[in-house]
Amino acid sequence: MHEMSLAEGVLQLVEDTAAREGAQRVKTVVLEIGRLSSVEPAALSFCFEAVTHGSIAAGATLEIVDVPGAGWCMQCAATVPMTELFGACPQCGSHQVQATGGTEMRVREIEIE
Amino acid sequence: MCTVCGCAPGEVKIEGDGHVHAHVHADGTVHVHAHDHHHPHGHGGEHDHAHHAHPHTHADGTMHSHDHDHDHAHAHGETHDHHHHDHPHTHADGTTHSHDHAHAHGHDHTHAASHDHAHEHAHSHPHAPGVGGDLDYGTGPARAHVPGMSQARMVQIEQDILSKNNTYARANRRWFDERGIFALNLVSSPGSGKTTLLCKTIAQLKGELVINVVEGDQQTANDAERIRATGVPALQINTGKGCHLDGHMVGHAVERLKPADHSLFLIENVGNLVCPAAFDLGEHHKVAILSVTEGEDKPLKYPDMFAAADVMLLNKCDLLPYLQFDADLAEANARRVNPKLVVFRVSATTGEGMAAWLDWIRQGLKAQAAKQSATVDELKARIAELERALAAR
């Protein structure tokens, strides 16, 4: 899902922070991407390299922290692991599962010098 | 580049745009520049300049060129100050200026148990202002680089990738709420009949409501022309390479259209069932349109959009007798990804089922008006409270 747009969003947050901190170079960018976020990490890495070319983050290592999916199943009244958004509960098969974790896509931190 | 979709500058076009204008600085410097901003805007409003460099000469004869990254409101043709400059420079006349320093030291060392330290020192040096009249807030924190010292360190950001868009969207929503405007974002795949449905909706409501429309498409102003033919104002946004509208584009469209209080604001998004789901525009509800010439399993194939929507219109229902489309199954699939989804079966062509949808819009507008008067009452109560406090002194 529009990984190019997201990579642009990441670069913007990174550039803003790097400028504020007076960085000369960005060495590492750490993202948190939930498994239920509809983001394909491999595609995002590819796009990140493309958009950072010629920027302060050129050549920076992209670390993607994988956040497992979790949801609240109404039928089981319990938190259950989820592998896909809008999927069924692995315990009871109900679709009344509200995702509670794994939908995030955030820039956690950057390493600068 | 566009803040969210990555489209190149100049790609996004809002109808009737493109201008060159002059600024007058506080020190009397005048400079003229053409904006190459991807989201143009009405004069006098708040706007955002993209990075651009422009050389100018100060009253004291100092000349310098710098990049602006200004994000502030100013009325054109009036004197204004630029701030948030980030540019190191030396003035020929030796004018003193104030600036902030921040030093950061990161060092690792090993004790019996190893651990890391990170120190941050921030201190400012306000100097006496010179006579040149320059204002310079220096080069920002940590610009004072110590040669030979490694400054590699981690900086926490902890921000959502879409946070920038969400900021714009929140501002739009607040603007709508303050005026009792009801805003809807219509999303669907291309060819589901969005524009026809909009035209029919407008035709039936324009006698009782004020309506403004924003049309998003990659190219052409065809849709806006179709809407304008119904007699209501419409603004076309061409996203160029972009696959969706974003909060920033809609904010500028709002400035341009200036919707009246208690009006209906309809946004027809780019025909795309994927990306527009993630981009909040500041609307009150996303309305997904599914036509019966598509598959019943579309809500399962593209769940994000049906989960993000509050309403689904099942369009082209007049064609059901000729198709092998199970409308109940389509509804059940949509409710599987979104149990709270409100569904209306309609035909924009024959007008079948439209009454319920139009009533839903009227209800929404009423709720917005109630919300607005609640806010006004709250403000009045606060004023009364403050006046009491003042009188008691």
Instruction: Give strand ranges (E) for B142-283.
Output: 153-160, 182-188, 211-217, 234-238, 264-268
Of A36-40, A76-80, B311-315, the one with minimum mean pLDDT is A36-40
Task: Indicate the DSSP class of residue B299.
Answer: H
pLDDT at residue number B22: 40
- What does the pLDDT average to over B381-385? 93
Which residues are registered as beta bridge partners of B46? B73
Smallest Cβ distance to B4: which of A5, A86, A106? A5
Instruction: Give strand ranges (E) for chain B.
Output: 13-14, 20-25, 30-34, 46-48, 52-57, 63-68, 71-73, 79-80, 99-109, 115-125, 153-160, 182-188, 211-217, 234-238, 264-268, 285-291, 311-315, 342-345
d(CA B118, CA B89): 31
pLDDT at residue number B70: 40
Whether residue B141 and residue A27 make contact (CB cut-off 8 A), yes or no, is no
Of A76-85, B145-154, B175-184, B185-194, the one with minimum mean pLDDT is B145-154
Smallest Cβ distance to A1: which of B102, B275, B337? B275
Smallest Cβ distance to A110: which of B157, B274, B300? B157
Calculate the alpha carbon distances from A47 to A44, A51, B141 in Å.
5, 6, 30
Contacts of B140 in chain A (CB under 8 A): 19-20, 22
Whether residue A94 lies within 8 A of chain B, CB to CB, comes out as no
Which strands make up the sheet holding A69-73, listed edge to edge? Answer: A78-82, A69-73, A97-101
**pLDDT band at residue B16 using 50, 70 and 90 as cut-offs:** low
d(CA B348, CA B198): 8
Whether residue A53 lies within 8 A of chain B, CB to CB, comes out as no
Whether residue B308 lies within 8 A of chain A, CB to CB, comes out as no
pLDDT at residue number B151: 61
Whether residue B307 and residue A105 make contact (CB cut-off 8 A), yes or no, is no
Whether residue A91 lies within 8 A of chain B, CB to CB, comes out as no
Contacts of B155 in chain A (CB under 8 A): 17, 21, 23, 109-112
**pLDDT band at residue B17 using 50, 70 and 90 as cut-offs:** low
pLDDT at B321 over 70: yes
Pairing of strands A105-112, B153-160: antiparallel
pLDDT at residue number B210: 96
Q: CA B374 from chain center: how many Å? A: 26
**pLDDT band at residue B11 using 50, 70 and 90 as cut-offs:** low
pLDDT at B30 over 90: no
pLDDT at residue number B325: 96
Whether residue A7 lies within 8 A of chain B, CB to CB, comes out as yes
pLDDT at residue number A41: 87
Whether residue B156 and residue A109 make contact (CB cut-off 8 A), yes or no, is yes
More confident residue, A30 or B76: A30
Whether residue A38 lies within 8 A of chain B, CB to CB, comes out as yes
**pLDDT band at residue A8 using 50, 70 and 90 as cut-offs:** confident
Of B60-74, B235-249, B320-334, the one with minimum mean pLDDT is B60-74
If you measure CA to CA, which chain B residue comes closest to A48? B6
pLDDT at B239 over 80: yes
Whether residue B160 and residue A106 make contact (CB cut-off 8 A), yes or no, is yes
225-254 in chain B: CB under 8 A from chain A: 242-244
Helix (H, G, I), strand (E, B) or coil at B332: helix
Summarised one tens digit per residue, pLDDT across range B40-72 is: 333 333 334 434 444 444 444 444 444 443 433
Smallest Cβ distance to B158: which of A14, A108, A111? A108
Contacts of A110 in chain B (CB under 8 A): 154-155, 157
**pLDDT band at residue B150 using 50, 70 and 90 as cut-offs:** low
Q: Residue A58's CB: how many other CB atoms inside 10 A?
A: 11
pLDDT at residue number B56: 44
d(CA B101, CA B99): 7
Whether residue A113 lies within 8 A of chain B, CB to CB, comes out as yes
Nearest CA to B292 out of B310, B318, B312 is that of: B318
Helix (H, G, I), strand (E, B) or coil at A73: strand
- What does the pLDDT average to over B377-381? 89
Question: Across chain B, how many H-helices and E-strands are there?
Answer: 8, 18
Distance from CA of A93 to the nearest CA of B (A): 12
Whether residue A107 and residue B157 make contact (CB cut-off 8 A), yes or no, is yes
Q: Which domains does chain A have, with CATH numbers?
A: 2-67+101-112 (3.30.2320.50)
pLDDT at B359 over 70: yes
Is the ipTM here above 0.95?
Answer: no
- What does the pLDDT average to over B295-304? 93
Summarised one tens digit per residue, pLDDT across range A56-103 is: 999 999 999 999 999 999 999 999 999 888 888 999 998 888 889 998
Distance from CA of A19 to the nearest CA of B (A): 9
C-alpha angle B254-B259-B260 in degrees, rounded to nearest 5? 155
Residues in chain B: 393
Query: With pLDDT > 90 as the criterion, what percentage of chain B qualifies?
Result: 48
Chains A and B form CB pairs within 8 A to the count of 117
**pLDDT band at residue B300 using 50, 70 and 90 as cut-offs:** very high
pLDDT at B105 over 50: no
CA atoms within 13 A of residue B249's CA, in its CB half-sphere: 35
Smallest Cβ distance to A86: which of B155, B161, B303? B303
| Per-position DSSP letters for B121-175, written without gaps between them | EEEEEPPPP-TT-----TT-TT-S--TT----EEEEEEEETTHHHHHHHHHHHHH
